[in-house]
Structure 1
Amino acid sequence: MQKFSILVCAFLLLAPLGLQAQKSLSLEDAVMQQWRKFRPEHLRVAQWREDGKGFTQSGPRYQEVFYYEGKKAPKSLFSTKDLQAAFGEQVPYIANFGYLSKTEIFLSFGQAYYRYDYKSKTGKKWVAYPQEAANLAFHEETGRLAYTIDNNIYLATEQEEKTAVTRFNNPAIVSGQAIARSEFGISKGLFWSPNGQYLAFYQKDESEVSDYPLVDISSTPAKLRNIKYPMAGQASEKARVGVFDPASGQTVYLKIEGDEADQYLTNLGWGPKSEKIYLAQINRDQNAMRLNVYEAKTGKFIKTLFEEKHERYVEPEKAVWFLPNNPKEFLWASERDGFTHLYRYEAETGKLLNAVSKGNWEVEEILGLDSSGKSVICMGTDPSGLNLYAYKLSLNGKKQMQLTKEEGQHHCQLSPNGKWLLDEYSNISTPNVAQLISTKNGKLKREFIKAENPLKDYKVGTTELLTLKAADGTDLQARLIKPSDFDPKKKYPVIVYVYGGPHAQMVTNSWLGGASLWMQQQAEKGYLVFTLDNRGSANRGFDFESIIHRQLGEVEMQDQLVGVNYLKQQAFVDADRMAVHGWSFGGFMTTSLMLRQPGVFRVGVAGGPVTDWKFYEVMYGERYMDRPEQNPEGYAKNRLHNYVDQLQGDLLLIHGSVDDVVVLQHNHSLIQAFVEAEKQVDYFVYPGHPHNVRGKDRVHLMRKVLQYIEDKLN
């Protein structure tokens, strides 16, 4: 029998005994109200004022903004009624705003940006933009707004609503949007220089990328909508970076160093003087990266500062971060020592000065410098990966201090003066706490919120965090949810929820353990709901995540079976009634487990599953599997069509009809293989939905998933 090292942290989420009868949680409420009605009390759109003395947050229903300073009672600054009086327009709510000065703010609603002085209670419409505008990038100091319409870029100012920046008629030329299918940490395509005098932008040429057909059934007859989808091993997009000068109306393109046409241009960052652009360039094989510097005005290549290589892959995800008090130095995040850490460089020469952080934990985000300017404040994990803390790191790399003390997932904002952290955290027994702490030593200054359990009037069970052992001794974090009336003498059916892929973590030391509320709702129907983060998932270091390289599904299944074996050893588990469900990579895992580990699960429900990695996109697929011609054995081994004859039990496959991430070919080709093998399988499609089913239809989806499991297990 396999031995397990198990650390169990169980917390009862029930209200105290003796209170009135509790209500049952409906599936509709569990799906639709987790982040509304059942979200613990929290700070609403909190942000620091520029002087760092206090912060603001919106009141209930986002109708009023309050100012908090020290231990004083909150002070009302302005409301939607004040804004309506100043602008002469209806302001439905105050969802977000930024500071222009101590008393003047800017905000956006409708189709415009506005500026408002809450001391004089005066304001005006500032910059308007067209209704079809997307990918907005606003530079508040200059009042310039860049945006896209279709595949071109436009500029809006106080004087002019629409000035063309690019004028491409070829639909394959896309400007101002995220490129590389949003891999490498890319989330946008428009980048203002610090002084607002230049606009850098990503551009991609998809002329050689294959069209992929999606069918739009909203019209009669239905219409064909082609998208560009570069599959593994096939032609990819060609990227470049443009720099637009609003003063001259001219655009130059960076003269990209290197002759590889389909290299990746990522992590675009500006130098502090708005003169240089820093760009991480990665080869198509994704095993080598160069950090290059370019002159913004001319596009001229200046130099390569340094290179990084790895036999598996190199994946930078954050731009250079210049020290606010020293424009000659920047910080760079890298996994070169096995964990994401910060390194300090000379900007001019690329000389490595020192590692700023170290240890078997991951830096997640830089918040800024402390008040001394000698230490950087950042968010980072702990070795378990379960907790997220704020850390204070001396820039010379000699000192590390954990500022937030309580175990859990912390989310912090640093005051502009570097003296204070506005810290909001939860853990498995704490719904939410908002507090102010010092960056000097982490000492508590003031507690603003200590949220009550929003589920106190409902029947919900226990959530346990488990630590199991992989075959190589690696710790694996897992979560088990039991009914509120759990009886260890009974035997319970199990739903295993799985994701298992890179860049994702399902189990955290946060409220509900990171679980979706439908899992609690199903536990009350008499299920155990189990989830395990296998090797390959996020926040445990490069080796933990990259072990899946060239063999997606192999190690992940081994680790999921560790969880299954643990469950089977529990006297209260009905091992003959186990189901597995997941979406996307989790759909791949669900289908893999049903076909390649037949008999373990009686039921599987796979949503949007990858079934053959040669159908998946270049950027993600080739990072983890290399190209099909480079790794034919790996692609063949994880092609699920090869295992359809091994299906035991019931399998339901689900897909959105216009999925542009995991295209429908994955499911349809697998179903074709089932038909050819004379194997029965169930299938359901959500018309008009892309990769995920959202809105009210998500209730239908979860009812479909859970009803299928119930019908087939019983």
Structure 2
Amino acid sequence: MTSPRDASVSFPRQYARTQRFALGAPRAFTVSPDGGRVVFLRSGSGPDDAGTDRSHRLWVLDLDTGRERLAADPEALLAGAAEELSAEERARRERAREGSGGIVGYAVDGAVELAAFALSGRLFTAELRAGTARELPVPGPVVDPRPSPDGRWVAYVAGGALRVTGADGTGGDRVLAGPEGEAEGADEAGADGRGITYGLAEFIASEEMNRARGFWWSPDSDRLLVARVDERPVRRWWIADPAHPDRAPQAVAYPAAGTANAEVRLFVVDLAGNRTEVRWDRAAFPYLARVHWSADGPPLLLVQARDQRSQAYLAVDPDSGATRTVRREEDPVWLELFTGVPAWTADGRLVRVEDQPGEGGARVLAIGDRALTDARLHVRAVLDVGTEDVLISASAGEAAGAPETGEIHVYRVRLDGEPAVERLSEGTGVHGAVRSGAVTVLSSARPDAPGSVTRVLREGKRVAEVASYARTPPLRAEVHLTEAGERRIPCAVLLPSGWTEADGPLPVLMDPYGGPHGQRVVAAHNPHLTSQWFAEQGFAVIVADGRGMPGRSPAWEKAIGRDLTLSLDDQVDALRALAGRFPLDLGRVAIRGWSFGGYLAGLAALRRPDVFHAAVVGAPVTDWRLYDTHYTERYLGRPDEEPEVYAANSLLSDDGLTGPRPPFRPMMIVHGLADDNVVMAHTLRLSSALLAAGRPHEVLPLSGVTHMTPQEQVAENLLLLQVDFLRRSLGLGPSSD
């Protein structure tokens, strides 16, 4: 839907106001095991306000009646008061890149009859059948509340301790696991606030491992697995706010490459607070990457070596804390982590995703020692493990034949019998699913239509559709999905609407992310809206996913091991290969990017001024010694062991700063001063090096902005300033928007 009042508002403002036109779209689905309910989050109370309302509400779709009902409304629960976030909740949302408000996450019991969530640091529950919600009086601020499978208890974290309370509101609130006594705990924490917590994920787990949790209920609801995180060994950094010199800097425990990580241990804790430590070789496998506890087998851990070239699947005896190795894996480059695994099948077989060795190796679904898929599919995640099959997310593999550029589909893989693999999603697009029993929630985004459509299927037949109140963008992304060059680099090309051959070639804007875990070339409409807006300013925009990007093959992703600069080579190759097929003026080429994309843009301006004529360098990693352990060491090793690798991949040691490599191309460097992921030191060090080398550049500091830019005015003006800089740098006229 499009509101008439938006007609005079610029696209950048609308894009920021609607959070990329995602507000009002349903998300975070849960299906009840009886097949009667689908629980989800959606902002707004109806079509009129959902497209710009940032406050998410908890909804229930009754599949027997086909009606949606509101289960929990933050405005009513907070009596209209503004939401207040604790430091722990702000950090959790930053790690999750969550820019909205209200109920942004929830957890349910085994029957999906009770939901628990936090608002303003307070604990709330919702009876999903009755549609009633209430607050439970507990100490706060509350983080990550989760009901027990039987619905009798709610566990949560407050003050660095894991606590539990009765779900019926009758009390019984108590600490299950916390620092060893209040007085001792205060000493452990230290003056700077860093210390020991129970039940929370450490920084690198939530930022890099996709593990946001720190505790897990047993299927019998009588005990929990609880992570103990000791951040005292981690180097302390300080994030200051120069716009407010009266405020003390914020202390951040940041494990930079080559330095100490937080120490993570795991305990089995019963409801009386008795604890048993889970024992494994933490010296060999310090990273607790995954935890799984279901009725299909003993607790299951995935632990990794620090170099991420070896890992172990461990089964836990919850009575003694002893572990046994179920499987060991090794890879000469690195081992990737995947969503949904490890897990057990109902008959006790290990479910995992495996990278087969060799140049033509595939990423397959494996059950026990048997691979159930082959090189025709590139498995991305496990969505559900059923009694007869496994639901997976996958792209076409190297042996699939015809390319499916940017497509992601949902497949059903039988555990036994034929046909072994069946595609459930239909049509070109990006598809995802959530399933329980016979009910599947299938969400589909397509390149030729804005937003996404969410259908509910029972036994493969549509029974309902979940309404989306997201607004319709004011422009249409006309994306051309293709492959470029001998390496068949996936690309998306966008041209100005109405362009004809008589208009001649266009200045080019490369618009990549270009790094691991950040696929940009996808067969969906909305992800290309910003690129299309830049195209409407008179550019031919190219998004290229070179080596290192996900979705193709293990060898493609791991080609960048020890050499991240290969991603720049692929940008150049894609540009040149597409020049014969699209109206590209290779004499006017710019590049823009954020985070790894900012690093790539800076690399392009410094190392390839023969190709690129201007660069917008957003929140760049300029010196990899300043980025975190789990990410950086996976690709570059440790800086004390391989300093030459870090030097070769750094912008600060680049010959473009000091060597005779004219001309130097204009750069606009943008960075949030409050960024605790890619800290401002990256940009300051690059700017200092450029200044020392006599290289002109622009620096745009964003006061109060983190690695995200959710602030509406900041996000809008950042786009406008970028296009102005690019047009000036390429000798073009003023922008039309």
TM bin, normalised by shorter chain, reads 0.7 to 0.9
Task: State the SS of the aligned residue for 1:280.
Answer: strand
From 333, 340, 357, give the equivalent of 2:363: 340
Structure 1 residue identity aligned to 2:355: E
Shift in Å, 1:177: 2.1
Task: State the SS of the aligned residue for 2:641.
Answer: coil
Structure 1 residue identity aligned to 2:549: S
Task: State the SS of the aligned residue for 2:240.
Answer: strand
Aligned counterparts of 2:378 and 2:36: Cα–Cα separation in 1: 30
- Residues 669, 446 of structure 1: alpha-carbon distance in 2 compared, 3 angstrom cutoff: same
Aligned counterparts of 2:544 and 2:700: Cα–Cα separation in 1: 26
- Normalised by the length of structure 2, the TM-score is 0.80
1:69-80 to 2 correspondence within 5 Å?
69=63, 74-75=66-67
- Residues 528, 375 of structure 1: alpha-carbon distance in 2 compared, 3 angstrom cutoff: same
- Residues 542, 299 of structure 1: alpha-carbon distance in 2 compared, 3 angstrom cutoff: same
Question: CA contact under 8 A between 2:588 and 2:613: conserved in structure 1?
Answer: yes
Shift in Å, 1:685: 1.1
Task: State the SS of the aligned residue for 1:489.
Answer: helix
Task: State the SS of the aligned residue for 1:630.
Answer: coil
Question: CA contact under 8 A between 1:64 and 1:76: conserved in structure 2?
Answer: no
Structure 1 residue identity aligned to 2:292: G
Range moving further from structure 2, 429-438 or 398-407 = 429-438
- Residues 142, 324 of structure 1: alpha-carbon distance in 2 compared, 3 angstrom cutoff: farther
Matched, 1:127 2:136: yes
Matched, 1:532 2:544: yes
Shift in Å, 1:166: 0.7
Task: State the SS of the aligned residue for 2:391.
Answer: strand
Q: Give the aligned partner of residue 519 of structure 1.
A: 531
Paired positions, count: 662
- Residues 206, 55 of structure 1: alpha-carbon distance in 2 compared, 3 angstrom cutoff: closer
Shift in Å, 1:409: 1.0
Aligned counterparts of 2:464 and 2:669: Cα–Cα separation in 1: 48
Question: CA contact under 8 A between 2:114 and 2:147: conserved in structure 1?
Answer: no
Matched, 1:298 2:307: no
1:132-171 to 2 correspondence within 5 Å?
132-139=141-148, 141-157=150-166, 158=169, 159-161=171-173, 163=175, 165-167=177-179, 168=185, 169-171=187-189
- Residues 630, 246 of structure 1: alpha-carbon distance in 2 compared, 3 angstrom cutoff: same
Shift in Å, 1:151: 3.6
Q: Give the aligned partner of residue 579 of structure 1.
A: 590
From 414, 429, 432, give the equivalent of 1:411: 432
Aligned counterparts of 1:64 and 1:668: Cα–Cα separation in 2: 43
Q: Give the aligned partner of residue 244 of structure 1.
A: 269
- Residues 198, 564 of structure 1: alpha-carbon distance in 2 compared, 3 angstrom cutoff: same
Question: CA contact under 8 A between 2:23 and 2:469: conserved in structure 1?
Answer: yes
From 11, 17, 22, give the equivalent of 1:27: 11
Cα deviation, 1:320-340, whole Å, max 9, x if unaligned, reads 5545643x3231222245443
Aligned counterparts of 1:99 and 1:258: Cα–Cα separation in 2: 32
Aligned counterparts of 2:342 and 2:112: Cα–Cα separation in 1: 29
Q: Give the aligned partner of residue 701 of structure 2.
A: 685
Structure 2 residue identity aligned to 1:153: L
- Residues 284, 39 of structure 1: alpha-carbon distance in 2 compared, 3 angstrom cutoff: closer
Cα deviation, 1:287-307, whole Å, max 9, x if unaligned, reads 11122223223322x321221
Cα deviation, 1:609-667, whole Å, max 9, x if unaligned, reads 11122222211111101112433332222221223134622101111113221222222
Shift in Å, 1:113: 2.5
Aligned counterparts of 1:104 and 1:263: Cα–Cα separation in 2: 37
Q: Give the aligned partner of residue 348 of structure 1.
A: none
Range moving further from structure 2, 597-606 or 263-272 = 263-272
- Normalised by the length of structure 1, the TM-score is 0.83
Q: Give the aligned partner of residue 99 of structure 2.
A: none
1:238-317 to 2 correspondence within 5 Å?
238-247=263-272, 249-257=273-281, 259-260=283-284, 263-272=286-295, 276-300=298-322, 302-317=323-338
Aligned counterparts of 1:508 and 1:533: Cα–Cα separation in 2: 10
Question: CA contact under 8 A between 1:127 and 1:145: conserved in structure 2?
Answer: no
Aligned counterparts of 1:205 and 1:97: Cα–Cα separation in 2: 26
Shift in Å, 1:576: 2.5
Aligned counterparts of 1:177 and 1:498: Cα–Cα separation in 2: 33
Q: Give the aligned partner of residue 424 of structure 1.
A: 443
1:669-708 to 2 correspondence within 5 Å?
669-696=685-712, 697-708=714-725
Range moving further from structure 2, 26-35 or 422-431 = 26-35
Shift in Å, 1:27: 3.5
Task: State the SS of the aligned residue for 2:631.
Answer: helix
Task: State the SS of the aligned residue for 2:299.
Answer: strand
- Residues 164, 706 of structure 1: alpha-carbon distance in 2 compared, 3 angstrom cutoff: farther
Structure 2 residue identity aligned to 1:408: G
- Residues 552, 88 of structure 1: alpha-carbon distance in 2 compared, 3 angstrom cutoff: closer
Shift in Å, 1:246: 1.8
Cα deviation, 1:519-546, whole Å, max 9, x if unaligned, reads 3223222222221111101121211101
Aligned counterparts of 2:336 and 2:222: Cα–Cα separation in 1: 30
Question: CA contact under 8 A between 1:605 and 1:651: conserved in structure 2?
Answer: yes
Q: Percent identity?
A: 21
Matched, 1:357 2:373: yes
Q: Give the aligned partner of residue 12 of structure 1.
A: none
Shift in Å, 1:66: 6.6
Shift in Å, 1:259: 4.0
Matched, 1:474 2:499: no
Q: Give the aligned partner of residue 637 of structure 2.
A: 626
- Residues 409, 497 of structure 1: alpha-carbon distance in 2 compared, 3 angstrom cutoff: same
Q: Give the aligned partner of residue 506 of structure 2.
A: 492
Cα deviation, 1:210-233, whole Å, max 9, x if unaligned, reads 222221347553423232222222
- Residues 25, 574 of structure 1: alpha-carbon distance in 2 compared, 3 angstrom cutoff: farther
- Residues 117, 396 of structure 1: alpha-carbon distance in 2 compared, 3 angstrom cutoff: closer
Aligned counterparts of 2:477 and 2:308: Cα–Cα separation in 1: 45
Task: State the SS of the aligned residue for 1:291.
Answer: strand
Shift in Å, 1:709: 1.4
Cα deviation, 1:142-194, whole Å, max 9, x if unaligned, reads 44333333544333333144536212342343322223612333222122222
- Residues 34, 523 of structure 1: alpha-carbon distance in 2 compared, 3 angstrom cutoff: farther
Range moving further from structure 2, 306-315 or 150-159 = 150-159
Structure 2 residue identity aligned to 1:189: G
- Residues 230, 527 of structure 1: alpha-carbon distance in 2 compared, 3 angstrom cutoff: same
Task: State the SS of the aligned residue for 1:311.
Answer: coil
Q: Give the aligned partner of residue 546 of structure 1.
A: 558
Unaligned runs of 5+ in 1: 1-14, 346-351
Range moving further from structure 2, 625-634 or 96-105 = 96-105
- Residues 640, 321 of structure 1: alpha-carbon distance in 2 compared, 3 angstrom cutoff: closer
Cα deviation, 1:121-162, whole Å, max 9, x if unaligned, reads 7x5746334442223333252443333335443333331445
Question: CA contact under 8 A between 1:577 and 1:601: conserved in structure 2?
Answer: yes
From 393, 399, 423, give the equivalent of 1:379: 393
Structure 1 residue identity aligned to 2:484: L
Question: CA contact under 8 A between 1:25 and 1:521: conserved in structure 2?
Answer: no
Unaligned runs of 5+ in 2: 51-55, 83-101, 180-184, 398-403, 733-737
Structure 2 residue identity aligned to 1:648: F
Structure 1 residue identity aligned to 2:153: R
Question: CA contact under 8 A between 1:534 and 1:560: conserved in structure 2?
Answer: yes
Shift in Å, 1:599: 3.2
- Residues 219, 637 of structure 1: alpha-carbon distance in 2 compared, 3 angstrom cutoff: closer
Aligned counterparts of 2:240 and 2:549: Cα–Cα separation in 1: 33
Cα deviation, 1:18-75, whole Å, max 9, x if unaligned, reads xx9x968713334324557x459855665534322564677725889674547x7x34
Task: State the SS of the aligned residue for 1:486.
Answer: coil
- Residues 570, 329 of structure 1: alpha-carbon distance in 2 compared, 3 angstrom cutoff: closer
Matched, 1:666 2:685: no
Question: CA contact under 8 A between 1:288 and 1:307: conserved in structure 2?
Answer: yes
What is the root-mean-square deviation of aligned Cα atoms in Å? 3.6
